[in-house]
Structure 1
């Protein structure tokens, strides 16, 4: 552990997402009474830097995209069978639910490997300081 911060009730602790952190376990001051701890995670953004959002990125899942495409005037009047034949010919984009799950799993694996590498580097630095 490189350091720690005491979080007090009613306070907000903010730090960059790139920093690793761990929430320590806790015990109730009085174990005979019920209690809990609440942690609210929020993401702070710079209002002067544009970020991509669902407001300006089209749906990337095929089932969602298909619903929206069906609403387009030239296509909404087609018989459903013909519309589905057209949709079946769409390749590569948008992603099917199965493809989206595969991409998500690959991303999670990649992030996990990066975190492991970062942890190893931090442990090396900590051990070399002794």
Structure 2
């Protein structure tokens, strides 16, 4: 599970890139395109332990939603440009984010919203002492 500070950094970086980013599901569906960043707590796994620290794999899922296919393609590319090779945790032991999976384009956003959506899964590593 990514730290609260890392999730705050992810949302702040997206907003700086003029993305409408939410940490978890928004309370009200935004009128235009938007991105929901899910911290996937079931995917945080300690990979190694050397007696002093453990390396933890953090997974973030970006759910991109837009009104048109072209708008969605642009949004997905903006998300990729914003987050690929960027480290949300400023500790020197943290790795940059890397895309590890993407879902197919889906017709309809959440709750039968008339939009198109696309999911992108990213991972980064941190060391825990």
- Bin the TM-score by the shorter chain: under 0.3
Question: Quick one: higher RCO (CA 8 Å, sep 6+), 1 or 2?
Answer: 2
| Structure (1 or 2) with the larger CA radius of gyration | 1
Q: Which has the higher helix share?
A: 1
